[in-house]
């Protein structure tokens, strides 16, 4: 968009290219390939000598619309869309790194990302050192001559630890490496890592960008040379591309991103405050609470506390399960970023496959519950939790 519109306006109007029919809502181009006027035009398109669409593994107008809109929201030069969040992370590593190189990653990242870095990438000669999310000095100490990528998620899942992105960008710069931030929890509505010095932003669009739990998607954003010359050639050739249908769904999700993230955050803050006052609750993790150890950093770096609240109930696993099983409205599912509130017991689900010792070291208590706060009324969410909490202790 030529004009310098505000975030809310870009969320609705960036990336629109109307067809000859002048449709108002963005068109959905469900087509695998595109037709050429002549053999010469086909040759020119394939040789990248003429702009235009060829095949939907490379580019599709609906996917392009999603990419342009998300780039406008993150303040990124370029965006490529992927089939899922994990495909975005894989494409970043495969596109930008080679055997013999090294990643430094926060210990507090998404479970499948840990698996990818620790189980799959070593087969291709890429090693990862895992360090503390909250201590930039540990990152600096882990740097090796072959370190190419620093990878972080903030706030972390499920303990909402905050990583200092400006400090990590500094570590990356002096190491000659790139800082990639998985911005899934905040979305650009609340936090824009590129403005804080990150080189790349990665998304699971499956979560808040769609916002209604419908489709999978992902994206990688950053400078042209990293995204278009680094990541995109891998996607184009290897094929973990976003489907046009999913792009269309998520494009519509982006229209309401700002008001949804504000509403998720408002509800989450009110619930976190209420949970802190419950006798059956031992501890609440929420960056928007003054009791959060990094509250000040969180409030500098992100607009609000976000939509995820974790809390520990007294009485361990049995008590935590009782709270879950006493709900009637909240969905018992590990997904997050949905308009509907979801609850999960990390120790036996998302973090169930790691050893009890590793779990304890990571701070995942048996009594810990993670709430991805939705857009229902706070009173109804509270009542649904109060039923189980009141039976504890």
Task: Report yes or no: 106 and 132 within 8 Å, Cβ to Cβ.
Answer: yes
- Candidates 15, 85, 253, 374; binder of ligand PLP (CB under 6 A) is 85
Task: Report yes or no: 212 and 339 within 8 Å, Cβ to Cβ.
Answer: yes
Residue 158 touches ligand PLP, criterion: CB under 6 A: no
Quote the least distance from Cβ 185 to ligand PLP, whole Å: 6
Residue 207 touches ligand PLP, criterion: CB under 6 A: yes
- Candidates 184, 347, 373, 381; binder of ligand PLP (CB under 6 A) is 184
Residue 243 touches ligand PLP, criterion: CB under 6 A: no
Residue 292 touches ligand PLP, criterion: CB under 6 A: no
- Candidates 67, 182, 199, 210; binder of ligand PLP (CB under 6 A) is 182
CB of 215 or CB of 375, closer to ligand PLP: 215
CB of 184 or CB of 365, closer to ligand PLP: 184
- Range in contact with ligand PLP (rule: CB under 6 A) among 161-169, 171-179, 204-212, 315-323: 204-212
- Candidates 206, 265, 278, 342; binder of ligand PLP (CB under 6 A) is 206
Residue 241 touches ligand PLP, criterion: CB under 6 A: no
Name the E strands within the chain.
78-82, 102-106, 127-131, 147-153, 178-182, 200-204, 218-222, 281-285, 308-313, 331-332, 342-344, 368-372
Quote the least distance from Cβ 159 to ligand PLP, whole Å: 13
Residue 371 touches ligand PLP, criterion: CB under 6 A: no
Which is it for the CA torsion 56, 59, 65, 69, positive or negative?
positive
- Range in contact with ligand PLP (rule: CB under 6 A) among 82-90, 99-107, 127-135, 225-233: 82-90
DSSP type of residue 193? G
Quote the least distance from Cβ 318 to ligand PLP, whole Å: 27
- Candidates 15, 218, 244, 367; binder of ligand PLP (CB under 6 A) is 218
Burial tier of 363 (Cβ tally within 10 Å: 0-12, 13-18, 19+): middle
Task: Report yes or no: 200 and 178 within 8 Å, Cβ to Cβ.
Answer: yes
| DSSP β-bridge partners for residue 284 | 311
- Range in contact with ligand PLP (rule: CB under 6 A) among 109-117, 170-178, 297-305, 374-382: 109-117
Helix runs in 202-361, H state only = 224-226, 232-238, 244-255, 257-276, 295-301, 316-325, 356-361
| DSSP β-bridge partners for residue 218 | 82, 204
Q: Calculate ∠ Cα 378-380-389, nearest 5°.
A: 95
Residue 370 touches ligand PLP, criterion: CB under 6 A: no
Quote the least distance from Cβ 131 to ligand PLP, whole Å: 17
Count of positions on this chain that bind ligand PLP (CB under 6 A): 15
Residue 204 touches ligand PLP, criterion: CB under 6 A: yes
Residue 84 touches ligand PLP, criterion: CB under 6 A: yes
| DSSP β-bridge partners for residue 354 | none
Residue 110 touches ligand PLP, criterion: CB under 6 A: yes
CB of 278 or CB of 344, closer to ligand PLP: 344
Residue with tokens 């009485």: 315
DSSP H helix total and E strand total for the chain = 16, 12
Residue 216 touches ligand PLP, criterion: CB under 6 A: yes
Burial tier of 249 (Cβ tally within 10 Å: 0-12, 13-18, 19+): buried
CB of 29 or CB of 185, closer to ligand PLP: 185
Query: If residue 119 lies in a helix (H) or strand (E), which one and from where to where?
Result: none
CA 64 to chain centre: 20
What is d(CA 302, CA 308) in angstroms, rounded to the nearest whole number? 14
CA 137 to chain centre: 25
Contact residues toward ligand PLP (CB under 6 A) are: 84-86, 110, 112-113, 153, 157, 182, 184, 204, 206-207, 216, 218
């Amino acid at each position: 968009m030529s004009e310098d519109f505000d975030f809310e306006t870009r969320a609705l109007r960036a990336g629109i290219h109307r067809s000859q029919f002048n449709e108002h809502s963005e068109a959905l181009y469900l087509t695998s390939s595109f037709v050429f006027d002549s053999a010469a035009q086909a040759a020119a398109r394939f040789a990248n000598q003429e702009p235009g669409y060829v095949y939907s593994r490379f580019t599709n107008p609906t996917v392009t619309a999603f990419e342009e809109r998300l780039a406008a929201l993150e303040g990124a030069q370029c965006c490529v869309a992927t089939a899922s969040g994990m495909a975005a992370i894989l494409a970043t590593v495969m596109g930008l790194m080679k055997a013999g190189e090294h990643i430094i990653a926060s210990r507090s990242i998404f479970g499948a990302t840990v698996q990818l870095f620790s189980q799959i990438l070593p087969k291709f000669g890429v090693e990862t050192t895992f360090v503390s999310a909250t201590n930039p000095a540990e990152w600096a100490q882990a740097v090796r001559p072959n370190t190419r990528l620093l990878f972080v998620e903030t706030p972390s899942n499920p303990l909402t630890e905050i990583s200092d992105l400006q400090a990590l960008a500094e570590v990356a710069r002096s190491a000659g490496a790139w800082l990639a931030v998985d911005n899934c929890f905040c979305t650009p509505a609340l936090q824009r890592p590129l403005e804080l010095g990150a080189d790349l932003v990665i998304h699971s669009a499956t979560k808040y960008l769609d916002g209604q739990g419908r489709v999978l998607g992902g994206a990688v954003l950053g400078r042209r040379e990293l995204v278009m010359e680094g990541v995109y050639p891998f996607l184009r050739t290897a094929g973990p591309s976003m489907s046009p249908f999913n792009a269309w769904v998520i494009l519509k999700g982006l229209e309401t991103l700002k008001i949804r993230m504000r509403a998720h955050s408002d509800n989450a803050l009110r619930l976190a405050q209420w949970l802190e006052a419950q006798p059956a609750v031992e501890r609440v993790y929420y960056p928007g609470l003054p009791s959060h150890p990094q509250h000040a950093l969180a409030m500098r770096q992100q607009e609000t506390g976000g939509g995820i609240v974790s809390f520990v109930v007294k009485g361990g696993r049995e008590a935590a399960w009782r709270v879950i099983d006493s709900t009637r409205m909240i969905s018992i599912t590990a997904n997050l970023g949905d308009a509907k509130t979801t609850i999960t017991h990390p120790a036996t689900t998302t973090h169930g496959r790691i050893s009890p010792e590793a779990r304890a070291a990571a701070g995942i208590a048996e009594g810990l519950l993670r709430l991805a706060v939705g857009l229902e009324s706070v009173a109804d969410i509270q009542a649904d939790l109060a039923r189980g909490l009141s039976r504890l202790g």
